[in-house]
Amino acid sequence: MGLEIQEPGKDFGLRVCWHARNLAGRKESPESVSCASMPEIRSIFLEVARAMRPVVAAQEVAERWNSESSLPEFSVGGLAGHLVRCVVTVPRYLDGDRDPAGPPIEGVAYYDRALVTPDVDSPDNVSIRARGEELAAGGHAALVELLDEAVADADTALAGSPPDRLVRVVRDLVLYLDDYLATRVVEIVVHTDDLAHSAGLGTPELPPAALETTIRSLVGLARFRHGDMAVVRALARRERDEAKALRVL
């Protein structure tokens, strides 16, 4: 089984809402399913953003700042910067275009358009690492302070944002705010674990709702990219899993 992307709403017919619901193989077209009115994802985002702080602020992270992380070509400091950027972008984007033109894309499409290739040496991935390193350039203490400021700013900005708020993000992609926040939850959960592992720390106990959102989102993305039977085989029949690891990020 290859990795050909299937367009939702056509042969596959599944819209994945990037929060903890509506991932049971619905047959509606993308246009018939709204993911805009889910304020619970905002509190989940803020909760997991606060839960990641002990890892970012850990002395072990500071001590390994310039060492290689568990992610290829990422330093520990750069990975910490990438993780903090998951929070920093939210108030920044909310402070930008308040009525971006163009129809919003789906959550699954965000990863396929924002991360075009898994090749670590691709221009896109080089740019991702550069942005993380840039954010971490001021050092460990400055990055922790930036995280605290970003969480406070995001809390204020989210409280004043309507349910149907759109945001323009990287690559000029337009998403519903709540769909974008769910992608941030996934990134925070995954990269908090990466940073903890890179620093020799145990991964902290993350909010159950954030873990549920992440699991459902990744399963939904795997279904979108590989098809339902590939996911079934990966979970129950690995010996017949033609997609093997079924990695989606």
Question: All domains of the chain, ordered by start, with CATH?
Answer: 36-207 (1.20.120)
Residue 90 Cα to chain centre, angstroms: 12
Q: Is the pLDDT of residue 208 over 60?
A: yes
Instruction: Give dist(CA 229, CA 174) in Å, integer.
Output: 31
Q: CB of 238 within 8 A of CB of 231?
A: no
Whether the per-residue pLDDT at 117 is higher than 90: the answer is no
pLDDT (0 to 100) of residue 236: 85
Q: What's the chain's length in residues? A: 249
- Which of 41, 68, 77 lies closest to 183, judged by CA? 41
Looking only at the bridges linking them, the beta strands covering 166-168 and 174-176 are antiparallel
Cα–Cα distance, 111 to 106 (Å, whole number) = 9
Residue appearing with tokens 């709540």: 178
The predicted-structure confidence for 145-203, as pLDDT tens digits, reads as follows: 999 999 999 999 999 999 899 999 988 899 999 999 999 999 999 999 999 999 999 99
**pLDDT classification of 243: cutoffs 50, 70, 90:** low
Q: Can you list the alpha helix ranges (DSSP code H) found in 19-102?
A: 40-51, 53-56, 59-63, 76-94
Q: Is the pLDDT of residue 3 over 60?
A: no
Sign of the alpha-carbon torsion through 73, 204, 147, 86: positive
52 pLDDT tier (thresholds 50, 70, 90)? very high
